[in-house]
């Protein structure tokens, strides 16, 4: 897999957080997040947001439609 750019990483961050990607993609995203001064803080924000929403929902994983709406807001 070639090196990922910021846009690709941010498009796959939810799948990364949910563990829904393969090992090669996971390593590529992980490496990018560790090195990128822009994506690292964005990833941390999304990770904390996801944890907060899951804690507040207490019904299991974040519903797909809510996750999609939140992701769209974060892209703006």
Q: How many domains does the chain have?
A: 1
Least reliable range by pLDDT among 30-34, 48-52, 71-75: 71-75
pTM, entire model: 0.65
How far CA 68 is from CA of 3, 34, 75, in Å, comes to: 25, 24, 11
Distance from C-alpha of 16 to C-alpha of 58, rounded to nearest angstrom: 21
On whether residue 55 sits in a domain, the answer given is yes
Structural domain for 50, as ranges: 6-75
Compute the Cα dihedral for 32, 37, 39, 44 and give only its sign: positive
On whether residue 16 sits in a domain, the answer given is yes
Say what the pLDDT of residue 2 is: 60
Length of the chain: 76
The domain that holds 63 is classified in CATH as 1.10.10
Say what the pLDDT of residue 23 is: 94
Say what the pLDDT of residue 59 is: 65
On whether residue 1 sits in a domain, the answer given is no
């Amino acid at each position: 897999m070639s090196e990922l750019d910021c846009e690709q990483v941010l498009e796959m961050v939810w799948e990364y957080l949910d563990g829904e990607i393969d090992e090669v993609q996971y390593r590529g995203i992980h490496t990018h997040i560790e090195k990128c001064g822009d994506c690292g803080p964005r990833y941390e924000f999304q990770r904390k947001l996801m944890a907060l929403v899951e804690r507040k929902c207490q019904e299991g994983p974040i519903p797909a439609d809510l996750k999609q709406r939140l992701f769209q807001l974060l892209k703006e």
